[in-house]
Amino acid sequence: MKIKTLFFGITSDLLATNNLEITVSENSSVKDFKLLLKEKYPQLKNINSYAIAVNEEYAADDLVLKESDVLAVIPPVSGG
């Protein structure tokens, strides 16, 4: 199934885009999605942690994704 994925901050810089449609297996979880991202897009390997939001809500790793979901990849933010 295809999942619309939005990228923010350094993740959009590294991928040179702010959104992609990513194909995942049925019954994939957020954790599965994170593993797929690092496998499919090696530029993200050096980002040790980032949050995933599903349909504008932060999501736990065990949440199972659905076809109509919109995911956001939110890297840590620093600064002052």
pLDDT in tens, 9-50: 999 999 999 999 999 999 999 999 999 999 999 998 888 788
Encoded tokens for 4: 């619309």
**CATH of the domain spanning 2-74, picked from 3.40.50.300, 3.40.50.10490, 3.10.20.30, 3.90.950.20:** 3.10.20.30
pLDDT at 59: 97
Assessment of whether the complete model's pTM goes beyond 0.75: yes
Backbone angles phi, psi at 34, to 5 degrees: -60, -45
79 pLDDT above the threshold of 90: no
For 65: left if phi > 0, alpha if psi spans -120 to 50, otherwise beta; the answer is beta
- Say how far apart CA 37 and CA 32 lie, in whole Å: 9
What local confidence, expressed as pLDDT, does residue 78 receive? 65
